[in-house]
């Protein structure tokens, strides 16, 4: 997981990518695969996407409802 530090600038950290995922989910609920397809050109790989999802879930910004990811707000 890339967090901002002396070595990793904020723009390259996963925290900088939270808004792009949340913007997609604000518009509509999505399946995880659909969400990944919509942001895959902006993330390095599936691991980075999963790190973003893990952090957003831990921060209570998203929830998984069955097969759908939902923005909590």
* pLDDT digits 0-9 by tens, 3-38: 999 999 999 999 999 999 999 999 999 999 999 999
The H or E element spanning position 49 is helix 46-58
This prediction's pTM: 0.91
- φ, ψ at 70 (rounded to 5°): -125, 140
Residue 16 to residue 33: CA distance in whole angstroms: 21
pLDDT of amino acid 1? 86
Q: How confident is the model at residue 58 (pLDDT cuts 50, 70, 90)?
A: very high
- Detail the DSSP E strand segments found in 1-73: 62-65, 68-71
pLDDT of amino acid 59? 96
Domain boundaries, the chain: 10-71
- Residue identified by tokens 């973003």 is 52
């Amino acid at each position: 997981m890339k967090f901002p530090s002396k070595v990793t600038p904020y723009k390259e950290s996963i925290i900088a990518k939270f808004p792009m995922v949340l913007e997609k989910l604000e518009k509509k609920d999505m399946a995880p695969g659909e969400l990944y397809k919509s942001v895959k050109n902006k993330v390095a790989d599936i691991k980075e996407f999963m790190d973003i999802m893990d952090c957003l879930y831990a921060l209570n910004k998203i929830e998984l409802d069955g097969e759908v990811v939902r923005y909590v707000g």
